[in-house]
Structure 1
Amino acid sequence: MTPRIEVAERAGVGLDGAIRPSEDVVVVLPNAVVLLDGATSLDPSLPSGGWYASRLAGELAGRLAGYPDTDLADLLAGAIKSVARDNGLVPGRSPSSTVALLRWTDTVVEGLVLADSPIVAFTREGPSLLADTRIERLPRGSGYRDQLRSGGGYGERHVIALRQAGQTTARRRNVEGGFWVAEADPDAAHQAERTTWPRDTVTTVLMATDGVTCGIDPYGVFADWQALRDLATTSGPESVLDQVRAAELDDPAGTRWPRPKPHDDQALVVIDYSVDYTGEDR
């Protein structure tokens, strides 16, 4: 049985506030979904996170299709290694991306998450969250957030403060005690959070980037994942993006919810296992 898959994507803005192509990437395969969130580059000398995410997604798609039984972490490690080798990327001095991988057979659904793009499976027992929260546990400086809370807005001072915060975060990337993300070190793949669910217990799976998950925390637009799923399945995933964006439009200067940009890229995937592609109920 083939699940029904719906994808909603929307570009945010760059550090200059201008709309530019989304750095989130979604690839849908016959038995897998790849979702990546390329990190906005704070160093103009480096390729963009979207550039990296698109290349990594291509490598992952080819490997998922060509090696359907290979361990997901091994597939990811091989993809990271290939992109780094082909483009001369160096650990600690390269663009990066989150990774969320979902793959299924007739009997099992597998999930892998690296950094903050979670997967939520809805089963008979309720929502089952697969998330990598290590970046959330890092000590947070107050710099750019305090500036925004005090009404500083998204000007040049904000960009300077954001770059300073980014330098601190970069020192904790792909090291023990820090956080792990796809970049140029293949070993990061084996630090991913993983789980499996019996296929016959799963009704729906959500995959999302942080431009969507912020609708739960910190915005509180949705009380929980169940509320987000209910809207996505009744009104479509675009309606979820609409509500998150509406909250941001009510806080244009970031005083209520200090954040790096007024609008982040958004990507949401809804995989419905209760109805196959013919529309027949399971």
Structure 2
Amino acid sequence: MPRVEVAEQPGVGLDGSARPSEDVVVVRPDAVIVLDGATSLRTDLPSGGWYASRLAAAIAERLEEPHPADPADVLAAAIRAVSAENGFVAGHSPSSTVALLRWTETAVDALVLGDSPVIAFGPGGPTVLADDRLAAVPRRGGGGYRTRLRSGAGYGPDHVAALRESGAAMDRLRNREGGFWVAEADPAAAYRARRARWPRAEVHAVLMATDGVSCGVDDYQIFPDWQAVLDLARRHGPRAVLDRVRAAERSDPDGSRWPRPKPHDDQVLVLVEDMALA
């Protein structure tokens, strides 16, 4: 069986105060599930972490079946079940990213919905399975929260107000053509996920991350590539990667260098080793 190491660390709320992480990890004998619940800007909805924990449990339950369905079918059924149980309606519900890794004796399957990538390492180096549709959504010009932060305005009530305005615009693009796709209340979103399958004998290791970690590669560029992340995680453990990202954020406390919704996001990094040793 592969060896799985998990490192996780909470970030902060929109007001900068401590609160429980909204990232969720489930490790099974033949699978790993990673979800990043979206921080809610609405007080009338359950938190993204609440939703992520229930969706993760629903996914895990369906993976326990003797012959679990295709990963997209599993995710769709889990979304449907959580939505029905709680009366959620598409467009007016909490949401979460999903990264699912599952293996058999011969193959490794990965599914990514939202910005929580899966990186497989083989003889040719890393292969990144990522969903970049959120990052590709055109940002509004002028007075968006990123512009405020770049100007040195920093975090605080005005930042939260700008973030709410930006969030309302993004809500109109969630799970729509030309926008981006996440797990929410529409099971059809599961079939918009990015997918990959690799021969198990060719996969030596896998990393799974939420965007509180992948930002170290994609945005901050404190790691030149995912191979550097794997090297650090192998030498000093996955927690060392989290600490490196958090240290970079502490060097930019007002978000002027790396504009981001919160000074620190929740972090999860999963290292799956010895994958090829069936």
Using structure 2 for the length normalisation, give the TM-score: 0.97
AA of the residue aligned to 1:124: P
Q: Map of 1:64-213 to 2, 5 A cutoff? A: 64-142=63-141, 143-213=144-214
AA of the residue aligned to 1:114: L
**Is the contact between residue 200 and residue 276 of structure 2 (CA under 8 Å) also seen in structure 1?**
no
SS in 1 for 2:35: strand
Could you tell me which runs of 5 or more consecutive residues in structure 1 were left unpaired when the two chains were aligned: 277-281
Corresponding position: 1:263 with 2:247: no
AA of the residue aligned to 2:120: A
**Is the contact between residue 31 and residue 101 of structure 2 (CA under 8 Å) also seen in structure 1?**
yes
Give distance in 2, aligned partners of 1:149 and 1:14: 20
Could you tell me which runs of 5 or more consecutive residues in structure 2 were left unpaired when the two chains were aligned: none
- Seen in structure 2, the aligned counterparts of structure 1 residues 32 and 68 have a Cα distance that, compared at 3 Å, is farther
- How many aligned positions are there? 276
CA deviations 1:33-70 (Å, max 9, x no partner) are 00000000011111100000000000001101125431
SS in 2 for 1:214: helix
Give distance in 2, aligned partners of 1:246 and 1:159: 23
SS in 2 for 1:153: coil
AA of the residue aligned to 2:197: T
Query: For the aligned residues, what is the CA RMSD?
Result: 1.1
Give distance in 2, aligned partners of 1:97 and 1:237: 23
**Is the contact between residue 72 and residue 191 of structure 2 (CA under 8 Å) also seen in structure 1?**
yes
AA of the residue aligned to 2:214: T
Give distance in 1, aligned partners of 2:163 and 2:82: 27
Give distance in 2, aligned partners of 1:263 and 1:79: 29
Give distance in 2, aligned partners of 1:273 and 1:103: 14
Using structure 1 for the length normalisation, give the TM-score: 0.96
Could you list the runs of 4 or more consecutive aligned residues of structure 1 that deviate by over 6 angstroms after TM superposition? none
SS in 1 for 2:98: strand
SS in 2 for 1:215: helix
Identity %: 62
Question: Residue 279 of structure 1 aligns with which residue?
Answer: none
